[in-house]
Amino acid sequence: MQTKEINSLVLAYLGDSVYENYIRKKLIAQKIATVKQLQSLATHYVSATAQAAFLKILVQENYFSDPELEVLKRARNTKGHAHPKGCDMITYKQATALEALLGYLTLENETTRCEQIMDKIWEVSYDCIWKKCS
């Protein structure tokens, strides 16, 4: 099966784990002492609202290639059944699109690009999260 033929929500399912694993590793590298603190900080990154905001910043910076934008658009336009409490459908679809792109890149063995995107998210989030939390 071609990666482009895989359902976007399936790609997002994989991308969600890629995203969360990256964030957990970065937070642990910050030498945070407790799981409670780790979980508290992780929620600043691992939420539909945060992911949608990070995606918006990267799109505004023209960070994505045309093929990556195609994956994002396809995923954003996928019909879903429901969205989590605490965010609207548009925010949820944007977050899902980011996760789908990460899942797509993972299946395409584009681990370097996936890492670049996550590094960029970490970079743009630094001021808005770490300076507030410290």
Domain residue extents for the chain: 3-133
31 versus 112: which is more confidently predicted?
112
Alpha-carbon span 96 to 132, nearest angstrom: 26
Q: Which percentage of the chain shows pLDDT scores above 90?
A: 65
pLDDT at 133: 43
How far is the C-alpha of 15 from the C-alpha of 19, rounded, in Å?
6
Active site residues per annotation: 16
Indicate the pLDDT class of residue 134, thresholds 50, 70 and 90.
very low
Q: What is the pLDDT of residue 82?
A: 67
Computed from CA positions of residues 109, 14, 24, 70, in that sequence, does the dihedral angle turn out positive or negative? positive
What does the alpha-carbon distance between residue 68 and residue 44 come to, in Å, rounded to a whole number?
Answer: 25
Contact 87, 25 (CB under 8 A): no
pTM summary value? 0.89
Start-to-end Cα distance in the chain: 47
Q: Among 47-56, 89-98, 100-109, which range has the highest average pLDDT?
A: 100-109
Question: Is the CATH code 1.10.1520.10 the one for domain 3-133?
Answer: yes
